[in-house]
Chain A
Amino acid sequence: MSTQSIAWAKTEVSRRPLVEKLHEWVTTVDHKRLGILYILYALLFLAFGGVEATIIRIQLIRPHNSFVSPQVFNRMFTMHGTTMIFFVAMPILFGFANYLIPLMIGARDMAFPRLNAFSFWMTAFGGFLLYFSFVGGDGLYGAGNAPDVGWFAYAPLTSQTFSRGHSTDFWILSLLVSGFGSIGTAINIIATILCMRCKGMTLGKMPLLAWLNLVMAGLVVLAVSPLTAAQLMLLVDRYLGGHFFDTQAGGSAVIWMHFFWIFGHPEVYVLVIPAFAFASEIIPVFSRKAIFGYPVMVAATICIGFIGMSVWAHHMFTVGMSSAANTFFVLSTMAIAVPTGIKIFNWLATMWGGQIDFKTPMLFCAAFLFQFLVAGLTGVMMSAAPFDWQLGNSYFVVAHFHYVILGGIFFTLFAAFYYWFPKMSGRMYNETLGKLHFWLFLIGFHLTFDFMHIPGILGMPRRIYTYEPGRGWDIWNLIVTVGVFFQAAGVLVFIGNLLWSYWRGKVAGSDPWDAWTLEWSTPSPPPTYNFATIPEVKSRRPLWDLKHPEDPDWQYE
């Protein structure tokens, strides 16, 4: 295999001017370049969101702190949440999906390359709009400059009366515009997976990453659209004087919550299902075993997709719903733990008896398994409405969802970075730096988010600007903030590793992990057209078949 990555690598002898190269990147419709653009763009916003998180935590490091003003604090948590969900997590996952799916299913590009570019630039424009609010948000009123309504922007806080100026408008427009981008990409992913697979790759032979991203894209289509609708209504209220969420004219503030969480909860699965996809590709390769229970994994994912659409109001137990609604959402929320549990058992069974190689990607996946389990357990705790009445809107909730998003999603994302970095750049990353990143981030993560549960149980509400001393919260907040610096150091090591390896890393070759999916059959980085000849597959692990003609997989599947 690796001997065949030849010819085109050396053809560009003369160096082209920088402007020409940049022009190529701006006008590209190549799924790999767009994937990388998505990822780089998201990393930029990761830095913004990280700085905002650090400001929040420094403010809370001790009681009666005044590191920032209350107004700035509100802007920071709003921008942190919005940035991390819409402009870090989603674009990174879309970037990986864009880059990997055509390579994994043996296609030369996505189904709609120009739609792909359009979607990326819409998302990019959305992020620009959000951050432009720092400059243009105060409008004519001298009002606050960045959105400060919280990332779920409950009514009536978002009405003209309470949000003067344009900060909330920037928030609405940026989510609306990036939502169009997300829907475009999701449509593209679905059409690509359904219509562009290479010969022999039936749905049952697709890599799990493709399957899981198919479900994710379906969720985006069905869940981001309601957010678009809700944002349109909010625009009607703010600009045209409508009354959708205007309680004085008979409108309802609660219906905004429903509309937002109809998007908001499936969004969690939009983010976590691609994370599952990374784990499902990486764990088998570093355990040297085929994935355990492939059909069950697919079925569990589809189950999660369906149930995930019907659990949204568990975000609203504290609002006060009818007991019938409470019961339904308690039960559906608990039910979703079942397919998720099945997945965890399948990953464990994949590792069981395997020759586990704890390279950096596998370390991150192992930590993911443990942390995602804990996150799921606190999730089941809070799915019980009475428990939620006690702890809703406390730091316990904040700890829980950061456990999901950081401990679950970001750990697998880092694993994915290290696993596919050789494919994307052609260079190996530095293993020592990778492990340093892992341990720094692991220690920081657990310092911050393990201990964040405790002030929550002790009654500390989320989003408060500061607190009184002597409530038993002080020491915990100090520990939580200390953890942030370990995480920041870890991320710096990570960025340094990427940069250093890109220029100085040793050449990776086409298949450094001895892996089994089609992307490893192309040179690293793959040529624009991916495959000179479109491959044909007979099993879920085509490269295994190729490397072991005496014992191919298709004899058993």
Chain B
Amino acid sequence: MSAPSVTMPEADIRWSLPARGPAGMYCLIAAEAAIFTIFVVAYIFYIGKSVSGPQPHDVLRVPVFLTICLLSSSLTIHFAIKLLSKGRVISFALWWLLTVTLGAVFLAGTVREWRHLIHDEGLTIQTNLFGTTYYSLVGLHAFHVTVGLLALVTVLIFTLLGNVRREHTQRAEVLSMYWHFVDVVWVVVFIVVYVVGR
């Protein structure tokens, strides 16, 4: 209709643009990374500045097992996506379920850790600067794990209802990008909280 017919006869341009799903997810990850950066900076800035105890080295235990769980869930989700792209939906569902389980184990571990800190050690978000920064940073990450888990479970339910097929690979992949991001953030949180800060 009103579109200008600017096409010139001699040149037919090849035209391909990036997919919008991953582009949007990369932007969201950039925004989230900026949020986490501020929390990490605050954590590092306040290391050792608490005027009263308990201090990190008194109460924190390094969560090696949980870290292994969360990081390996990045691998399992990667395999799941690979399988879906080949159309093997049942294997996809199994690997996806494994991912959800690993994420849930991580969250349960965080719950246990917090219970120990609050109940046994008496460290709450009000106790001192360490408590404030620790629960904020680890809590913000745990919140992101929770959101990711809810999304993963939604996909799992759709899969069990038989609504996930090969053509949905890209959408599942966009979600997996978020999950990978949450894992990478954990690496940073782990180093800052349990290695440097302790």
Interface residues of A (CB under 8 A from B): 1, 4-5, 106, 111-112, 115, 183, 186-188, 190-192, 194-197, 199-200, 221-226, 228-230, 232-233, 236-237, 240-244, 249-252, 255, 259, 262, 510, 518, 521-523, 531-538, 542-543, 545-546, 554
Contact = CB atoms under 8 A, between A and B. Distances in A.
Of residues A106, A111, A188, A194, which shows the largest number of chain B Cβ atoms within 10 Å of its Cβ?
A194
A interface, by DSSP: helix, strand, loop or mixed? helix
Given A249-B128, A250-B50, A521-B2, A229 B38 contact: yes
Contacts, number: 157
A200 B50 contact: no
Interface in B97-135: 125-126, 128-129, 132-133
Q: How large is the interface on B (under 10, 10 to 19, 20 to 34, 35 or more residues)?
A: 35 or more
A195 B1 contact: no
B161 interface: no
B19 interface: yes
A221 B27 contact: yes
B19 A242 contact: no
Nearest to B30: A221
B71 to A, nearest CB: 25
Interface in B1-26: 1-8, 11, 13, 15, 17-20, 23-24
A187 B23 CA distance: 8
B2 A523 contact: yes
B31 A195 contact: no
Contacts of A232: 35, 136, 140
B20 A112 contact: yes
B174 to A, nearest CB: 12
B154 interface: no
Contact of A243 (B4, B5, B7, B129): B129
A367 B35 CA distance: 38
A5 B13 contact: no
B13 A199 contact: yes
10 contacts: A186-B27, A191-B20, A199-B13, A199-B15, A221-B31, A225-B34, A229-B37, A242-B136, A243-B126, A533-B1
B51 A250 contact: yes
B35 A531 contact: no
Interface stretch (B39-47, B58-66, B162-170, B189-197): B39-47
Given A190-B27, A536-B7, A249 B35 contact: no
B125 A242 contact: yes
B132 A532 contact: no
Interface string B127-158: 01100110010001000000000000000000
A229 B24 contact: no
Interface in B49-75: 49-51
